[in-house]
Amino acid sequence: MSNNNDHGKNQQQQLTLSSYYHHYGQLPPANEFAGYEQTLPCAADRILTMAEKEAEHRRENDNKLTNASIKLSGRRQVMALVIS
């Protein structure tokens, strides 16, 4: 007859570990940046150029929005003056 304790000794346990990493930003961390360059020569330069273009595009859009807001504010003031 089998003992329940003998059955427990034959069982194996499995432990699974997982890791999660999240990066937010235009440029990858330095160690990943170097990996891109090793995988594809000139990749680092292409990534930097892309980030620079994106930053310039954002600045241009911010300037356009600011100028449009200023013009709209001026129009509102003129309309308020005309109405009063």
For residue 31, the model assigns a pLDDT of: 85
In tens, the pLDDT along 40-63 reads 999 999 999 999 999 999 999 999
8 part of a folded domain: no
Rounded to the nearest 5 degrees, what angle is found at the Cα of 13, between the Cα atoms of 8 and 17? 165
55 part of a folded domain: yes
Q: Is the pLDDT of residue 1 over 70?
A: no
What is the count of structural domains for the chain? 1
For residue 27, the model assigns a pLDDT of: 84
Query: Taking the CB of residue 27, how many other CB atoms lie within 10 A of it?
Result: 13
For residues 33, 39, 42, 46, the Cα torsion angle rounded to the nearest 10 degrees is: -60
Give the pTM: 0.56
Expressed as residue numbers, the domain containing 72 is 26-83
**Axis-axis angle for helices 43-83, 30-39 (nearest 10):** 120
The encoded tokens of residue 44 equal 């680092």
Confidence of residue 5 (pLDDT cuts 50, 70, 90): low
Mean pLDDT calculated for residue range 57-73: 94
